[in-house]
Amino acid sequence: MTMIDIGGQVRHGEELDIAAVENWLKNQGVDLQGQAQLTQYSGGASNWTYRLQYDNADLILRRPPKGTKAKSAHDMAREYNMQKHLAPFYPVLPEMIALCQDDSVIGCDFYVMKRIEGIIPRANLPKELQLDEPQVQQLCLNVLDKLIELHQVPYQGTELEKLGKGEGYCRRQVEGWDARYSKALTPNVPDFAFVRQWLLEHIPTDAKTCVIHNDWRFDNVILAPQQPTQVIGVLDWEMATLGDPLMDLGSALAYWIQEDDDALMKSSRRQPTNLKGMLTRQQVVDYYLEKTGLQPANWAFYEVFGLFRLAVIAQQIYYRYYHQQTDNPAFKDFWIMIHALHIRALKLIAQNNPQARPLIAEYGAKLQDILKR
């Protein structure tokens, strides 16, 4: 069973007051038998995730990192309620147990849910999981189908309807991520000026409004241990909202590194989309549009947006490293990845806009100089 994520040792500085949590859970009527085995899942850039394993229950606790406000970027109540209200329409969600908004318990909001036993596909599939090419393709299609199913959820007239802000999602996203990048700039990254202006000038009307995940990746799905091409769980709903499904797909493709990508792109791969049998990015788009019937006038906008959004996320993390607010060595070379994302975005724009082509040569030369150092 080594293919299944079981959690590891709790990281220093991220200890959990298990006695306080147990007392609170029992007061909520949760039956807990035996002594808890406490482990923590890897990650930590986002919400912290712990496993509480009892004789009669296998639970997951999610809480925000220390130093953040749960009511803002790490809204536990919103994440909990999203999953609770979505579950009747989308049965691959973990079962919610309880939400705590009493800071006296562990100092912040948190929620507890049942754990789904299964395989989480990360950068590489587990060595014990041997899939042939047709099986890899089936896995790929099943993951895409779960995204398509999500985008068909009938949210109107339910509590989910309260999550949205109405029409104009695409514009709000472009303007919001543009402002975030301005605040996170450091001297060693491109300003994305051409890309940002192009996005602002090509904002489409929303294709439609639906429930979107906003962080759709292979490492946010759970596969059945005995049928590892089947998706039995979808995780990490903290950024889910009502919005344009094509923005969701474009953001997902920013992480989609395929078999024929260059070495620099492959160095940032965090999911197994490079395997033989996986669809290419273009095949993903074709499959999705055929299944949904959507016909965007300018697909490139969504894919360029996804690349820019990922660059902003990476730069916000790198900004903290650059200004010595964190010393995590994993963030040291993020600025190089941002250069690569910039060139990828320019290449997409250049397919229909020749003004981008000289910039590809200019910034490509800069990137080569960086890589030679």
What domains lie within the chain, and their CATH numbers?
A: 18-114 (3.30.200.20), 133-372 (3.90.1200.10)
Token pair for 370? 């960086």
Residue 129 φ/ψ region, left for φ over 0, alpha for ψ in the -120 to 50 degree band, beta for the rest: beta
| CA of residue 12 relative to chain centroid, distance | 25
The rounded distance, in Å, linking the Cα atoms of 219 and 54 is 25
Query: What three-state secondary structure class fits 111?
Result: strand
- The pLDDT score that the predictor gives to residue 30 is 98
- The pLDDT score that the predictor gives to residue 11 is 87
Cβ pair 203, 172 in contact under 8 A:
no
pLDDT tens track of the chain, all 373 residues? 468 877 899 988 899 999 999 999 999 999 999 999 999 997 645 789 999 999 999 999 999 988 654 344 679 999 999 999 999 999 999 999 999 999 999 999 999 999 999 999 999 999 999 999 999 999 999 999 999 999 999 999 999 999 889 899 999 999 999 999 999 999 999 999 999 999 999 999 999 999 999 999 999 999 999 999 999 999 999 999 999 999 999 999 999 999 999 998 998 899 999 999 999 999 999 999 999 999 999 999 999 999 999 999 999 999 999 999 888 888 999 999 999 999 999 999 999 999 999 999 999 999 999 998 8
